[in-house]
């Protein structure tokens, strides 16, 4: 039986470079992001840079595990600076796709390649180890509450 695609953890930070806080649930607001997060308030490091997908970011727990296995870099899920950690979801395949997390509808916009800012706040070598598996940037099409344990389902 295949493993169910789901949310394993949620993370927000109140401002740029602030430590990510793990939360059990969060409110997603279309056009804004996650309540309480730096990008919702437009105070994130890249808030002034144009580009889609600043509302919410996701990373696969499997990518974090591979970083530990292949590069011996232990990265607690929130330290990757992504809002949602998933399991059993091929996030790279969701670029251009619409999908649900619980009742929330998201649209995958582009890959969330790792940057040196993330590495500076996380661990030396993390950016290199997460190339092409650093996650997904998405926009919120229809908001609501996201909870740890919510299913992830592709719509189209």
pLDDT tens for 103-120 read 999 999 999 887 766 767
Q: What is the pLDDT of residue 105?
A: 98
For position 100, which CATH number holds? 2.40.33.20
pLDDT tens for 11-40 read 999 888 888 899 999 999 999 999 999 888
Asked, for residue 36, whether it belongs to a domain, the answer is yes
| pTM, full prediction | 0.90
Q: What is the pLDDT of residue 153?
A: 96
Domain tally, the chain: 1
Asked, for residue 98, whether it belongs to a domain, the answer is yes
Q: What is the pLDDT of residue 22?
A: 96
Asked, for residue 60, whether it belongs to a domain, the answer is yes
pLDDT tens for 39-98 read 888 777 666 666 677 799 999 999 999 988 998 988 887 878 889 999 999 999 999 999
Q: Can you give the chain as a three-state secondary structure string?
A: CCCCCEEEEEEECCCCCCCCEEECEEEEECCCEECCCCCCCCCCCCCCCCCCCCCEEEEEHHHHHHHHHHHCCCCCHHHHCCCEEEECCCHHHHECCEEEECCEEEEEEEECCCCHHHHHHCCCCHHHHCCCCCCEEEEEEECEEEECCCEEEECC
The most confident of 109-113, 129-133, 138-142, by mean pLDDT: 138-142
Asked, for residue 1, whether it belongs to a domain, the answer is no
Asked, for residue 79, whether it belongs to a domain, the answer is yes
Asked, for residue 73, whether it belongs to a domain, the answer is yes
Q: Which residues form the domain of 111?
A: 6-154
Residue 1 has pLDDT above 60, yes or no: no
Asked, for residue 136, whether it belongs to a domain, the answer is yes
């Amino acid at each position: 039986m295949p493993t169910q695609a789901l949310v394993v953890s949620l993370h927000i930070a109140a401002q740029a470079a602030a430590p990510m806080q793990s939360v059990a649930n969060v409110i997603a607001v279309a056009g804004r992001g996650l309540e309480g997060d730096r990008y919702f308030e437009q105070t994130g490091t890249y808030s002034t840079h144009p580009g889609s997908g600043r509302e919410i970011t996701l990373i696969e727990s499997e990518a974090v595990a591979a970083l530990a296995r292949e590069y011996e870099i232990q990265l607690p899920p929130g330290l990757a600076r992504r809002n949602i950690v998933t399991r059993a979801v091929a996030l790279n395949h969701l670029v251009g796709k619409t999908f649900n997390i619980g009742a929330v509808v998201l649209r995958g916009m582009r890959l969330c390649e790792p940057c040196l800012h993330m590495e500076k706040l996380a661990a030396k070598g993390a950016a290199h180890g997460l190339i092409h598996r650093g996650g997904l940037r998405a926009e919120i099409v229809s908001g609501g509450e996201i909870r740890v344990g919510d299913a992830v389902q592709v719509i189209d």
